[in-house]
Structure 1
Amino acid sequence: MGSWTDTTRPELPAGARPLWRAVIRPERLDRTIVREVLPGAGPLAGWVEQVWSLAWSQPVPASLSALISHPTIHLTVEAGPPSERRHGHALPAELLHGVVLERFGLDLPAFGWVVGLHLVPGAIMDLTGVPAYRWTGRVVPWAAAWPGWDLTPVWDAEGPAARAQALRAVAETMIGDRVPSPDGRRARTVERLARDDRGIRTVEELAARVALSVRALQRLCRDHLGVTPRWLLRRARVLDAHELLSTTELEIAEIAHRLGWYDQAHLTRDYTKITGVPPAAQRRILETDRS
């Protein structure tokens, strides 16, 4: 096989929302929550895509919090009513979230907040030595997965912006000057190619682009990303389909054709599995949200 190189990420399609793109109903969610997003800059640039911080003072139903899952790990600090259990854990909580393979959406009570590290895909194994697949579909205590963090400054901070700044400062101290392993870098490239290169339609094509056999690619994705190559490609196409549903008036059959589905029925099946709503119904919901 030929050699491979890291790729720079292409521009997102026109109309894309770089930090909010995977949220299924961004217009409605923006009216319900306060959010702060900081890039993973400086010493965090190779490890953290963003530090995100949300707060809300009214109920947020799962239909609004739903998003198209990203193939990465989130580390969160979460607060709310003392009687609430979130992700199966009593609040307050410090949690590690593995990749969610299907629809993600969470009913949130009348008030609360969460601040989190959105890790770069492929980062968790380099940072902890534990394969990413161990966490897929699971939410576990942060300290059980990655001990040694003192998150007191985050709990002491007031408001979404201050909590994001505090978590970023703690993460910079914990991550320090680490550098990704060769396999970690390759996993990052695989994820970017699957997400951004619309010319790659099959697992075999993705493997060829990074000079791996299909079996080696599957192992790399399992250990560093926690998902299969096929899931990466399907998720990327569903995200693109959602973008076109949200920003164009293209017929759903045309969207399916442009993005490489066999027909509209196959697009509907995959889109519904990941978002929980058929594309035709989702378009009607989005139109209502914007009105």
Structure 2
Amino acid sequence: MRQRPRGDSRGILDPGHLLREVRFRRHLPAESLRPWVEHYWLIDWAVRTPFEQRVVPHPAVNVVFQRNGDGPESGEVAGVGNDLFRITINGTGRVCGVQFRPGGFHPFWQRPVNELTGRRVPLPAGRLAVPDRMVCASDDDERCRALDTLLTAWRPEPEPAAEEAVRLAEAIRTDRTVRRVDDFAARHDVSVRRLQRLFLEYVGVGPKWVIRRYRLQEAVEQAAGGPLSWADLAADLGYSDQAHLVRDFTAVAGVSPAAYARSVR
């Protein structure tokens, strides 16, 4: 179990620009929630000039609270995003988000998570109740306590299948040698068919999608880091050739790898 939140910028396009414009930080949830929750992410901004931020989504569900200026606070559940996420940041505002671990939202949702894939829906009433006070209203400690209270009130129960999905998705994220679904399934002694069903219900997307998305996020991160050989990177990430990586990168990021690398430098 992690003792500190991730420090990478994986998935964020042009992270340097984002960090110059906003205050972005991550915090761990209460220890009892860490089997399911990756981290909380908090953003505050006060900008004079609007700018667009783009993110290559993780294979994870997020619960997001947002307040713009002095307006009301809204809450929503964001399923795994199929496409590049774009948001225009303007004026002043705050966001308090919960990024669940891939597979970790099912104990809270208790329905197939692929129902949410590609969708953003208002935070449901009832069991997934909207809090009776604003989450984004105070300092970081109070915001995290409010999120801890909200998630604990949902009373998640351990689910062996969800735990398996979390473990397998984490193995894909951390092991760069994972390139093919059939090889990965054999390595973990599970059938391809069961692996696909497990990921669709608990993660929201199939294992092939998760493998490709994590490898593309690595490519985005490395492209921002300095000059590199795209042919070598394609081979390292399991692509058959450089052209295949370029097509996938362009389709997901909305710009070619070379153009993106130039823009962030």
Check whether TM > 0.5: yes
Report if the CA contact (8 A) 1:76-1:116 is conserved: yes
CA distance in 2, matches of 1:105, 1:78: 15
The whole-number CA distance in structure 2 between the counterparts of 1:135 and 1:145 is 18
CA distance in 2, matches of 1:172, 1:142: 12
- Report the structure, 1 or 2, having the larger strand content: 2
The aligned runs of 1:120-159 (5 Å cut-off) are 120-144=101-125, 147-155=128-136, 157-159=137-139
| In structure 2, C-alpha distance between the alignment counterparts of 1:25 and 1:166, rounded to whole Å | 30
1:251-272 CA-to-partner distances (Å, cap 9, x unmatched) read: 2122112212111111011111
Q: Which residue of 2 aligns with 1:39?
A: 28
Instruction: Give me the TM-score of the superposition, normalised by structure 2.
Output: 0.89
**What does 1:217-236 align with in structure 2 at a 5 Å threshold?**
217-236=195-214
> What is the identity percentage for the equivalent residue pairs of Structure 1 and Structure 2?
30
Matches for 1:1-291 after TM superposition, within 5 Å: 18-58=7-47, 59-62=49-52, 65-80=53-68, 92-144=73-125, 147-155=128-136, 157-159=137-139, 161-162=140-141, 164-171=143-150, 173-175=152-154, 178-287=156-265
Structure 1 segments (4+ residues) deviating >4 Å:
none
* Greater alpha carbon shift after TM alignment, 53-62 vs 21-30: 53-62
**d(CA) in 2 for partners of 1:204 and 1:103?**
27
Distance, in Å, in 1 between the alignment partners of 2:63 and 2:173 is 22
RMSD between superposed Cα atoms in Å:
2.3
Work out whether residues 73 and 134 of structure 2, in 8 Å CA contact, stay in contact via their aligned partners in 1: no
Q: CA offsets per residue over residues 105-131 of structure 1, 9 Å max, x none? A: 211222211101111211222222111
Distance of 1:171 and 1:233 partners within structure 2: 31
* Paired residue type of 1:99: V
Q: Which runs of 5+ in 1 are unaligned?
A: 1-7, 10-16, 84-90
Quote the residue 1:5 is aligned against.
Answer: none
Q: Which runs of 5+ in 2 are unaligned?
A: none
Letter in 1 for 2:248: D
Aligned position for 1:88: none
- Mapped to 2, the partners of 1:218 and 1:117 lie a distance apart of 25
**Number of residue equivalences:** 261
CA–CA distance in structure 2, aligned partners of residues 34 and 23 of structure 1: 14
1:95–1:250 CA distance, 2 compared to 1 (3 A): same
CA contact (8 A) 1:124 1:132 kept: yes
8 Å CA contact 2:114, 2:201 repeated in 1: yes
Instruction: Provide TM-score, normalisation by structure 1.
Output: 0.82
